[in-house]
Amino acid sequence: MAKTHESDAKQILQHAKRSLKYAKEAEKETIAKGDTKGVDHIAAAIKHLDHAIEHAKMGHADVANKHITDALSEMHKFAAM
């Protein structure tokens, strides 16, 4: 069962929402460039951010944080391309 750290979850929620906004903008730009491999990494990051938001709303900071970390990993893979 996920631990509940409400204040941490609120901070993660804010961070994830901001990150999701930027990831969606990057996805649009990457699609416009026709970079299908890049879009795959960004789409995976967006999926993790969506999950992070869901868990943060439930107060599950530890699970939300894992999804944030996974999203960041996908964006690093995209940047390294």
**From its phi and psi, is residue 4 left (phi > 0), alpha (psi between -120 and 50) or beta?**
beta
CATH number, residue 45: 1.20.120
3-state secondary structure of 34: coil
DSSP annotation of 2 reads: -
28-54: average pLDDT = 97
Task: Report, as an integer, the average pLDDT of 68-73.
Answer: 96
Task: Assess whether pLDDT exceeds 70 at residue 12.
Answer: yes
The count of domains in the chain is: 1
Residue 6 has pLDDT above 80, yes or no: no
In a domain, residue 44? The reply is: yes
At 49 the pLDDT is: 98
DSSP secondary-structure letter at 67?
H
Give the residue-averaged pLDDT of 4-13. 77
Residue 73 placed within a domain: yes
In this prediction, residues 71-76 reach a mean pLDDT of 96
Residue range(s) defining the domain that contains residue 22: 6-79
Instruction: Determine, yes or no, domain membership for 1.
Output: no
Q: Which three-class secondary structure state does DSSP give residue 59?
A: coil
Q: Please report whether residue 61 resides in a domain.
A: yes
Residue 21 lies inside a defined structural domain of this protein: yes
